[in-house]
Amino acid sequence: MSKESTTIDVGESSNVTKSTSHVVVDEKKKKSFVAAASGGGYKRGLAIFDFLLRLAAIVTTITASSLMYTAEETLPFFTQFLQFQAGYDDFATFQFFVIAVAIVAGYLVLSLPFSIVTIIRPLAVAPRLILLISDTVVVTLTTAAAAAAAAIVYLAHNGNANTNWLPICQQFGDFCQAVSSAVVTASIAVVFFILLIVISAIALKRQ
Amino acid sequence: MKNESTIIDVPAESSSAMKGKAPLIGVARDHTTSGSGGYKRGLSIFDFLLRLAAIVAASVAAATMFTSDETLPFFTQFLQFQAGYDDLPTFQFFVIAMSMIAGYLVLSLPFSVVTIVRPLATAPRLLLLVLDTAALAFSTAAASSAAAISYLAHNGNQNTNWLPICQQFGDFCQKTSGSVVSSFVAVVFFAMLVVLSGVALKRH
């Protein structure tokens, strides 16, 4: 192996060359800072949208719960044997609906401070993660209440020939209407919750 | 400015060999494993196993409900003494929904494998989270509406004169109730999957 040799002129003093190599690292740090600032911007926008969705969901759940709660009807005739009153407490499923949706409304009010924290500190991870986990639990609870009530409402509208379950909506028209509106409103709240979960997930993701 | 000079011995090997050994300034981050990649890979593996368990739960629920037919050993000319899932529209919805959920879970397995292989990639996880949230809501709807009908079948409702049919169709009721329980297990798995994806997505 024959050796070659060459002469290299080191033109500048050594600390200047060192600083040029550090510029690579500094630029990377600057880029990450810029990314964090712009990420904070769009994450703050997402947090504000999250807050507004929560307010809308509070209104929706309170409406659903109170619609079901006040859905009573008394028919103007009576006999000694049959009942001609209908209310939410005649159905175990509707009782569950009222209580579950009321709990969800209470949770939403309690989660508003966390949402405000995510607006103020858009890059903080812990509040968003807490909101995501509890929103998942709440979406399950709301969907369960809405779907169970929807099954009973479907039965009340259509009955079931095979099991001899009569459609009671034919007698209790107002009650059925109020109850159906409550179920529809709760389903809208479920859509809001799904949006809230997706927003939290998008805001959580790394740059 | 003082000029300095030095002499460097360059061996006669080809310069490409020296270039190959030169270290890079600003070495690219190894995206396959690192500290956070390690625990995210663990979360992805747990996610994959949860998906397999949820497939079992959802398909067991659908199959049990589908095969829950019962015919009573006596009959008359006028009344029906058969019970099956297709006698109740809610149970029909349940069978179809649970089958769709099981199919979705099977199709999401490749995405889960991708998150195991590339633990730091966020796009597959975000996609899985959004789809899992929708699947969570869908399966909860199916499970709880079937639960409401099951509750009615067991207890009836005095105020509306809906008779509890479980007193005649014991096997049918047992199978449908077991099916509903299995679907709620699938719902719990979905909730865990959503939370897992959320935790794995978070920045460090």
Q: What are the two backbone dihedrals, phi and then psi, of residue A164, each rounded to the nearest 5 degrees? A: 60, 35
Residue A160 belongs to some domain of the structure: yes
The C-alpha torsion from B12 through B16 and B20 to B23, rounded to 10°, is: 80
ipTM: 0.76
Nearest-CA distance from B131 to chain A in Å? 10
- Count of CB atoms within 10 A of residue B129's CB? 27
Asked if residue A85 belongs to a domain, the reply is no
Backbone angles phi, psi at B120, to 5 degrees: -95, 0
Q: What is the pTM of this model?
A: 0.77
Considering the domain boundaries, does residue A26 fall inside one?
no
Kindly state whether residue A75 falls inside one of the protein's structural domains: no
Give the pLDDT mean for A113-120: 92
Q: How far apart are the C-alpha atoms of A123 and A115, rounded to whole Å?
A: 13
Tens of each residue's pLDDT in chain B, 204 residues: 556 777 777 666 555 555 555 555 555 555 555 567 788 899 999 999 999 999 999 999 999 999 988 887 766 665 667 888 888 899 999 999 999 999 999 999 999 999 999 888 888 999 999 999 999 999 999 999 999 999 998 988 887 778 888 888 888 899 999 999 999 999 999 999 999 999 988 866
- Domain total for chain A? 1
- Residue A58: inside a domain, yes or no? yes
The CA distance from B160 to A153, in Å, is 12
Mutate: best of B140, B161, B169, partner A, most A CBs <10 A? B140
CB pairs under 8 A between A and B: 181
pLDDT bucket at A89, cuts 50 / 70 / 90: confident
For residue A172, the chain B residue with the least C-alpha distance is: B160
Q: Is residue A22 situated within a structural domain?
A: no
Is position A29 within any domain? no
- The domain in which residue A197 lies consists of 38-68+91-204
| A47 found inside a domain | yes
